[in-house]
Amino acid sequence: TFVGKKWFVTYHAYAMGRMESIWGKNCRDFVPERWLENGIYRQESPFKFPVFHAGPRMCLGKDMAYIQMKSIAASVIERFEIDVQNKEKCPDHLLSLTLRMKGGLQVKVKER
């Protein structure tokens, strides 16, 4: 593949996480069971889902990111009821280096 002078080259982790050749025919579906084997969490190869990369260049902050993500998610879920407002429509995405939802995800938040 030709790469021209001053071209910007990157990979898209969102797209890689939805590749049929890696994740199978249901790669676009929300299937939490894909991570379970006989009801127990099954670790996938970090090379299959390279958000934090893998091998000698793996992100040093990966474990801290997971700890923070889990503690914040648990804290929010414990304190608030969260209801997605438009469940029928999947939000559009803005293509950028860090993919985000166009207009955000509209939710109603209520204290428990």
- Residue pLDDT, tens place only, 48-89: 877 888 888 889 999 999 999 999 999 999 999 999 998 888
Can you tell me the distance from the alpha carbon of 34 to that of 43, in angstroms, rounded to the nearest whole number?
A: 10
> Do residues 65 and 112 both lie within one domain?
yes
Can you tell me the distance from the alpha carbon of 49 to that of 37, in angstroms, rounded to the nearest whole number?
A: 18
Whether residue 101 is predicted with pLDDT greater than 80 in this model: the reply is yes
**Mean pLDDT of all residues in 33-37:** 91
> Do residues 52 and 76 both lie within one domain?
no
Ordered alpha helix ranges (H), 4-105? 13-16, 20-23, 62-79
Number of domains, the chain = 2
> Do residues 22 and 66 both lie within one domain?
no
> Do residues 32 and 50 both lie within one domain?
yes
Please check whether residue 61 is in contact with residue 53, taking contact to mean a CB–CB distance below 8 angstroms.
no
Query: Residue 4 sits in which domain range?
Result: 1-56
